[in-house]
Amino acid sequence: VLIALGILFLGVAVLLSYYMSKRAMIPIRQSFQRQREFVADASHELRTPLSILHSSLDVFEMEDGEQLSDFSKNVLVNLKNEVKRMAKMVNDLLTLARSETARSDDLVFDHFDLAPSAQQLVRSTTTLAQSQNLKLHSHIPDVLPVFGDHERINQLLYILLDNAIKYTPPGGEIHLTLSIEPTEKQSALLIKVQDTGFGIPPEDLDRIFDRFYRVQKNRSRQMGGTGLGLSIAKWIVESHNGTIAVSSVPGQGSTFTVSIPIIRKKA
């Protein structure tokens, strides 16, 4: 009887502590939720004044550009760069905060052909790559039937290409390869972005998908980086039930590989 009572007592104690810890978590969870909503709302509100600031600087530059001293012109260029960086950061924060508040209606899943928009993206990033003396090669089939959020997958491609351009010194090469590969149960969209850039030290590889993590802060800052791109990329991939991986050799380059299952039910 004593043993049975002991077991019963233990069971009740375990259940009670489980219940209490669950209850104790509720206010913490609510407070995280409020914090995320605050970040989402604040970044949303900041977008308008920032875009007004940016266009005002454009007008100022057009009207008074000729009369400005070299010093003031320099100040203006720096000001515009920082406003641009801030706008990018605010946009990235908004995307992340939205991803965390789990507004799944933010994602629109559909069947579509990724090939035309990927080609278009390559055309626009080629100009950027050429301006830094980089060669961008693309390997994209004529048709790429995909199931997912078209805008987000475009954003994912842009983040990976933009990083490859930012972190590859002049004279380097970037390869974008898109394909549909059969897997065990279904097919998957495979995205590979390979560069001959600075590479990432092995000890940083695990952390580059963390928010605000930058291997070389100065280089990232100079290139207009925010440290948020890869965490957004990871969120996009995971919300498509996919995987993202990186392999890199410092001084030789990096390869980012994404696999996204094509047929999936909406979560």
Positions in the binding site for ligand ADP (CB under 6 A): 163-164, 166-167, 195, 197-200, 208, 213-216, 220, 225-231, 254
Q: How far is the CB of 242 from ligand ADP (least distance, A)?
A: 17
| Residue among 34 and 217 whose Cβ is closer to ligand ADP | 217
Cβ distance 214 to 179 under 8 Å?
A: no
Q: Report the alpha-carbon distance of residue 193 to residue 256 in Å, rounded.
A: 5
Q: How far is the CB of 195 from ligand ADP (least distance, A)?
A: 5
Phi, psi of 63 (to 5 degrees): -80, -40
Q: How far is the CB of 172 from ligand ADP (least distance, A)?
A: 10
Q: Report the alpha-carbon distance of residue 246 to residue 237 in Å, rounded.
A: 13
| Residue among 163 and 259 whose Cβ is closer to ligand ADP | 163
Q: How far is the CB of 199 from ligand ADP (least distance, A)?
A: 6
Q: How far is the CB of 213 from ligand ADP (least distance, A)?
A: 6
| Residue among 67 and 218 whose Cβ is closer to ligand ADP | 218
The alpha helices in the chain, defined as continuous H runs, are 2-64, 70-100, 115-131, 150-166, 217-222, 229-239
Phi, psi of 184 (to 5 degrees): -55, -50
| Residue among 199 and 242 whose Cβ is closer to ligand ADP | 199
- C-alpha distance from residue 258 to each of 32, 217, 245 (Å): 30, 25, 6
| Residue among 248 and 259 whose Cβ is closer to ligand ADP | 248
- Residue 224 backbone zone (phi > 0: left; psi -120 to 50: alpha; other: beta): left
